[in-house]
Structure 1
Amino acid sequence: MSETPTPPLYMRRAGFGPDPELETLRDGQGIGRVSTPFGIDAWLVTRYADVRTVLSDPERFSNAVGIDFVPSDTKMSKEEIAALRAGNMLALDPPEHTRLRRTLTPEFTIRRMHRLEPRITRIVEEHLDAMERAGSPADLVSSFALPIPSLVICELLGVPYADREDFQRRSSKMLDVASPFEERLAAQMESRAYIGELVARARVDPGEELLGTLVREHGDDLTTHELVGIGTLLLLAGHETTSNMLGLGTLALLRHPDQLELLRKEPERIDAAVEELLRWLSIVHSGTAKMTTAEVEIAGQVIGPGELVVCALPAANRDAGFLPDPETLDITRGAPGHLAFGHGVHHCLGAPLARLEMRIAFPALLERFPGLRAVEPEAHFRSFSVVYGLTSLPVAW
């Protein structure tokens, strides 16, 4: 009988919060050595101030230098690995990262997002209508939390929503660190091949969607590999993160009825509530691992060049050095400065879209179903996923 694998320390959770061992490390030394799914050890940075330092300094903490996280026995050429990295801004440093991000930033401005607000509102209402028609109980993940961000990012990118089952399956596999590397790589290659077909069509007939806009306005500056990488990353991040925030955030509110009631009575608090849920849940465990390019000192620890560094975002966002009473979910404070979207040059490009979707979806859900409640006492967490969340959330009303 095989043993159940254990996630690396920075991915371990205790319900909504980080693992107690992670909290002990943060409140003690602040930094320690941990194993990673990449087969090499890393320095784990846990305190808020230290995590900000790492994320603020792409020159000394590189996303691109030093290592491709591909096992040595994997039969991939350097050219194939380079093609796999192309367009993936999480695997790049400035100035390459800056060049790609500059092409995308206009598409994710707050002003551009506000144009999407009526359409997102309709998508949310349509899914609430469908839930109401189907009747209680329902799985909030499959009927609400997952399809809404998926449909939004599909429309934004120009990806057929009819293909959602396939790309959601591939996304789950790519983010599952318990799966063998070969399976995760195969899912990534499938995803890139799928996006490659959409890019090829866009090059022939560019539409008004994001892929078409990139081809039309930057087609001479971006290679096909880069366009594929951009599309793959945005599709993956665009539905996985927000969907898990909607599911896990709803459960967090249901488990904190005082906060739920306050938001119901004072819906104008939604912006602050979204920020606090982002901080308190921190569904992205660590972001991308970094490689030191020079000798650095973090939390009193001297680290030489060529060392892997991982940041524990949930621990940092619950650091008493960041804000008082960090373990308490308090939607009145809004948690300015949290690290749920990262920090620095790699701060999440899609943050305005994610905030908008949550700002629309949470109040609409609570207003439609005043008696919303979780059916089961135990939550179904995604323990081995790079993005934390729920596999399902049975609810009734």
Structure 2
Amino acid sequence: MPPVSNRSNAIMDLADDQRFALMKFRRSVSDCLQPGQGDPYLLRWLKARNFDAVAAEKMLRESLQWRAKWDVDRLLTHWEPPLALKQFFPSGICGTDKDGVPIILVPFSGLDIWGLLHSVSKTDFIRMTAMTLEKYLQEAAENLKKAGSPSCAPTLIAVMDMENFSIKPYTWRPAGEVVLSLIHMYEANYPEILKACYIINAPSIFSVAFSIVRPFLHENTVQKIHIFSSNARKWKAALMENISTDQLPAHYGGTQVGINGDTKCTHKVHQGGKVPKNMYQKLEDLKDEIEGAWTSANVKKGDKLQLQYDVAEPGSYLKWEFRTEQHDIQFAVYRCSNDGSRQAVVEPRKVNCQDKNAPEIGVITCDDAPAKYVVEFDNSHSMLRTKKVHYQIVLAPPLTSADSLVDSLASIAVN
């Protein structure tokens, strides 16, 4: 069967204004397109910018500059990852869905972010992620070629296993910086490559973590993410809607089994794991790292600690992380009116986040602005004990102007 026409199939379902945007975009970037980068490729960038041809051109040209700076086109053939990344970077392709799209499995609990960032540079960690994406997209493109559709844009399916997920490692500032850098890299340079993402075995704390990173994700990406708890019946049913059982390891409801009954098929999917300390480039104490990035305060018995933040732009977001020593504390966030009254945005509640527990983490979008927001640690219910609180609170601009923040984090990672 001859391959499907590159152009006619790509624009079949487009509205007239979208067809016009595609035509305009195609003409404006004709000088930088490579062979095989037809309408399906161009539509990735247009969809990422809501069919604004000018914005899509800017996005594409900036991505080409990024690829040149990072030498992305030569990563698979000219870059040798450090040993720690080769041995402990978790992911792998286990099969394809019914349309031939590669299925990427990521056992997230195997990502030792602390160990890896003590063994390799942030630059190499980001480079490894880019190389892995390029490898998977290359395989997706080869599948399309075999299916007689070489002109179609390759896509991927991701299955992220969040079993045993802990948010604590990501309260360490370097880890947070890398996460933001990777999100920026993905959204800026790999638009519309995701067919679907299944996040399975997600604990309740994951919803808090996802709410923190969601503002940095394009809405098109968010719509393709499906989050499931540890209820295996539900997420297995969702996977099987478009994936045959022979394309999944037995651990995930399929029939694949590796050597000696290996239900996770570790010969296909690298599990990651704890990086041994003899691979560390430097040894530091985690607590010192965390304490150095946090502020500490004593909230006296019967007293309150109130922190005020002036929000200038609607859509800004307020993010907090905190923990206490030995005892709980009541926490709330209020929005203050000009007349002095205040309304609870986060209702007051007692929080038990002592040293041995994970920090309390949350984020809100400040839709009403300009306004004053107050973060309150309330110890007035205690008449006997002073509470020590360690906290980080960040007021960040709205997503439309947050790119500069993420660029800065990416720059820190590069340097």
Task: Give your verdict on TM over 0.5.
Answer: no
Question: Which structure: greater helix fraction?
Answer: 1
Q: Output the TM-score relative to the length of structure 1.
A: 0.21
Q: Output the TM-score relative to the length of structure 2.
A: 0.20
Question: Which structure: greater strand fraction?
Answer: 2
Q: Which has the larger radius of gyration?
A: 2
Greater RCO, 1 or 2 (C-alpha within 8 Å, sep 6+): 1
